[in-house]
Amino acid sequence: MYWTMSIILFVLWMLGLITGSTEGYWVYLLLLFSMVSLVLAVSNRGKRLVA
């Protein structure tokens, strides 16, 4: 689930940069949320491997 969220948010961030409609720094929130969900995905995967 986190992998899917991070990929979707990353793609939206890239589209925001390509189209040039950055509207300040709002588009960078997508990158931030994408990285947070990616970290959560990696940490959850590590917990599954250990348990």
Please report, in tens digits, the pLDDT of each residue of the chain (51 residues total).
778 888 888 888 888 778 776 666 777 777 888 888 888 888 887 666 554
pLDDT for position 22: 60
pLDDT for position 24: 65
CB 37 within 8 A of CB 9: yes
CB 14 within 8 A of CB 25: no
pLDDT for position 35: 86
Tell me the torsion sign for CA atoms 27, 32, 38, 44. negative
pLDDT for position 6: 82
Which helix H or strand E contains 36, and what residues bound it? Answer: helix 26-50
